[in-house]
Chains A and B, each alone.
Chain A
Amino acid sequence: MVTTPEGAPDYARSGLLLSARGLTKTYGGQCVVDGIDLDIPERAFTTFLGPSGCGKTTILRMIAGFETPDAGSIVLDGRALSGVPPERRPVNTVFQSYALFPHLTVLDNVAFSLTLRRQSNIDVAARVKRALDAVHMTAFGDRYPHQLSGGQQQRIAVARAIIAEPHLLLLDEPLSALDKKMRGHLQIELKDLQRRLGIAFVYVTHDQEEAFALSDIVVVMNKGRIVQKAPPLTIYARPANAFVADFIGAATLLPGDIVAGEEANESAAIDTAIGIVACPAVEGLAKGDRAVLAIRPEHVRIGTDGLSAVIRHVVFKGDRYLVEAEVNGFILQFLADTPLTPGTTVGLIVDKDRAFITRIG
């Protein structure tokens, strides 16, 4: 794998695996995928992140061949996919509902794609064993799907999908039906598996923590369009707009006007309900533009000389309390160590160095 001098994977030089242009899909007059351009590098873990109905699953289904795009093209390994049926595409899918064949044992489920290609039995047995090893399910070969737990079924679904060595593995919210603990386990296993196999994974989820934990590249989608495509850290630290900032983590979004700062400038200032705040400038936003100041709950603390805020709601989060307080008609979220009483007034200090400006839409 090609890496940068710092050792991080350099996807720009690893080569392009999949390239989509102007991809569009409309259902009953509603545009689900709206002219998307997309490049997916080889060997990378790419995640589509967005609320339900944003079109992420539809893109996956168009890559798999279950849906035909109304317009646009998909090129995989340099070959145009239009008109190629699902069974002849070098991709395999892990379904949200697992979709294991209920009438076949684990062994027969995993061997399904190989038996269709009439491989020799010895070869099939060896490859099935390797695939089951990869998901730690070797001991379950003779079971039927209904005899397995949800997590075990999903492992088998993964083994079944990787056995034919696809160039691209598509995963459609594969962990969403599992409990939190199992989800955590399988996230680690999937990431590990992707590194070992060196196959590109395209993953769909609405869970931002999952996207951050797994991905090399996160593609945030909203209403059929790509809003931002970047590594997780960039998405977290520099959300492209208020939608991304809001979706990836509970942040307080305060609208305001840019009062200082030019495009090339290092710093800018925004006038909001909590006063004028100085932040790093955002390219394309200039003085007089309407923008949003994003403040994360962890960057607000209680202090006597701060903004006067009235406590509205308190939610116990396990380690701390998430508190919503009202400042000048806007709700500001912050974390507190003690349960505060709704209705009381506190002083809040915003860590202005950690707040950031982002676009409204």
Chain B
Amino acid sequence: MAPVFHRAQLALPVALILIPGCVLPLVVLLVFSVFEVDLDTFTLVPAFSGQSWRQIFTNPVFAFLIGKAVVSGAGTAVLAACVGYPIAVSMTRLPVLWKGVGSIVLLTPLYTGEIVRIYAWRIVLGSEGLVNAALEWIGLIDEPLKFLLFSPFTTHLVLLYNNLPFMVLAIWISAELIDKRLIEAARDLGARPIDAFFKVILPLTTPGLAVGIFTVFALAAGDMMTPSLLGGTSGATPMAMIDNLFGTAFDWPLASALSLSLLVVLFAFATGFVTVLLRFEGARAVFQRGTR
């Protein structure tokens, strides 16, 4: 008799690495979060103390920072979905060769290092940068626009730019898999192109949309570099705070508690997003297709 392998067992090797590699550090964080710091000797003292957790729940700055990360991530995800959807759908109409070119061009932001990109944005958006110079030259403005750099606008513009490829790729693959005959059938039955979009294309791309939103949300909510270096005074993030607490402040218990709190909140929101999207009939139909 042939050995019976279930397809799910193919995930086993990766799971064996991921589970210890992910769960163990979390356990360590959980343990550290109840330890105490002896500030005289700067040592971590094993204890069972709820002190750092008390701080997380009582000091509003933590809730504010976590909330800010969630809003930032969600905002970027929604923006990326709105901007990325038309790009993804128009890519499905390209000839095969141009689809290849399109996907390479699309991934351009990922080829350059993050720091390089961030300094490039400073050059583009600064007071004497490209945008301001151009606007002044054509006479639209007299003074450089200050909000272009070191503002929430900058942070979200760059977060959007960095993460857009993940959104477009996810939706594009999803849209590419739609049987073109379904669109013809819709048109044949009296649907104008706009009706066909809302009744057929949009429902059947919800899986791609869900993956895109999940990815962009996680990446944008967890980004530290972009807000710190481009957000100016608005650029505080829970990640920067954690970095500070682990490093300069040497408060590992509080840093651990904050890390875990951030993780739980982001996880809850991401799960919520995806669950809502996957409840739509379109997503259900796509996932059931292979199980007949």
Chain A residues at the B interface, C-beta cutoff of 8 Å: 64-66, 85-88, 91-93, 95, 97, 99-104, 112-113, 116-117, 144, 146, 160-161, 164
A95 contacts B181, C-beta separation under 8 Å: yes
**Contact assessment for A86 and B203 in the assembled complex, using a CB-CB cutoff below 8 Å:** no
CB atoms of B189 and A116 under 8 A apart: yes
Return chain A residues, CB-CB under 8 Å to B204.
Answer: 102-103
Q: Are B190 and A164 in contact (CB under 8 A)?
A: yes
A86 near B184: Cβ-Cβ < 8 Å: yes
Q: Which residues of chain B have C-beta atoms less than 8 A from A103's C-beta?
A: 203-204, 280-282, 284-286
Please, how many angstroms separate the alpha-carbon atoms of A315 and B233 in the complex? 87
CB-nearest residue of chain A to B187:
A86
Alpha-carbon gap, A100 to B282, bound state (A): 13
Q: Known contacts A103-B281, A146-B289, A146-B292; is A97 also within 8 Å of B189 by CB?
A: no
A-B contact pairs, 13 of them (CB 8 A): A66-B187, A87-B192, A95-B181, A95-B184, A95-B185, A99-B181, A101-B185, A103-B204, A103-B285, A116-B195, A116-B199, A161-B188, A164-B189
B288 touches A144 (CB 8 A): yes
Decide yes or no whether B191 CB sits under 8 A from chain A.
yes
Instruction: Report how far A210 CA is from B77 CA in the complex, Å.
Output: 54
Contact of B189 (CB < 8 Å), options: A85, A92, A102, A146: A92
Known contacts A101-B182, A103-B284; decide if A93 and B188 are in contact (CB<8 Å): yes
Contacts of A164 in B (CB 8 A): 189-190
- The answer to whether A99 and B195 touch (CB under 8 A), given A104-B281, A164-B190, is no
Residues of B within 8 A of A (CB): 179, 181-182, 184-192, 195, 199-200, 203-204, 280-282, 284-286, 288-289, 291-292
CA distance A96 to B289 in the complex (A): 18
Task: Give A147's nearest chain B residue, CB to CB.
Answer: B292
Q: How far is the CA of A79 from the CA of B6 in the complex (A)?
A: 59
Please state if A101 and B200 are interface contacts (CB–CB under 8 Å).
yes
A146 touches B288 (CB 8 A): yes
- CB-CB under 8 A from B291, the residues of chain A are 146
**Which chain B residues lie closer than 8 Å to A117 at the CB level?**
190
Q: Which residues of A contact B188 (CB under 8 A)?
A: 64-66, 86-87, 91-93, 161
Establish whether residues B285 and A102, one from each chain, have CB atoms under 8 Å apart when the complex forms. yes
Known: A97-B179, A116-B195. A102 touches B289 (CB 8 A): yes
A117 to B289, CA, bound (A): 29
Give the Cβ gap from B292 to chain A, nearest Cβ, in Å: 5
How far, in whole Å, are A144 and B281 apart by their CA atoms in the complex?
Answer: 10
- Are A99 and B179 also in contact (CB < 8 A) when A86-B188, A93-B185, A146-B288 are? yes
Most buried by A among B179, B190, B200: B190
Q: Please give me the residue from chain A that is nearest to B195 by CB atom.
A: A116
Q: How far is the CA of A160 from the CA of B187 in the complex (A)?
A: 13
A112 touches B187 (CB 8 A): no
Residues of chain B within 8 A (CB-CB) of A104 are: 281
Chain B residue nearest to A112 (CB atoms) is B189
Taking the closest CB of chain B, its distance from the CB of A114, in whole angstroms, is 9
- Which residues of the other chain, A, contact B289 by a CB distance below 8 angstroms? 102, 146
Query: In the complex the two chains form, is B190's CB within 8 Å of A99's CB?
Result: no
Whether B281 pairs with A112 at a CB distance below 8 angstroms is no
13 new A-B contacts at CB < 8 Å, known A103-B203, A117-B190: A85-B187, A85-B192, A87-B188, A93-B185, A99-B182, A101-B200, A103-B204, A103-B286, A104-B281, A113-B189, A116-B199, A160-B189, A161-B188
User: In the complex, what's the smallest C-beta–C-beta distance from B202 to chain A, in angstroms?
Assistant: 10
A102 to B288, CA, bound (A): 9
Leading 4 A-B pairs by shortest Cβ distance: A103-B285, A102-B285, A113-B189, A99-B185
Task: Give Cα distance in the complex from A101 to B201, angstroms.
Answer: 10
Complex partner residue of A66 from B184, B200, B280, CB under 8 angstroms:
B184
Query: Contact: B184 with A99, CB < 8 Å?
Result: yes
B192 to chain A, nearest CB (A): 6
In-complex Cβ contact of A116 among B190, B280, B286 (8 A): B190
Residues of B within 8 A of A92 (CB): 188-189
Most buried by A among B182, B185, B282: B185
Query: In the complex, which residues of chain A have a beta carbon less than 8 angstroms from the beta carbon of B286?
Result: 102-103
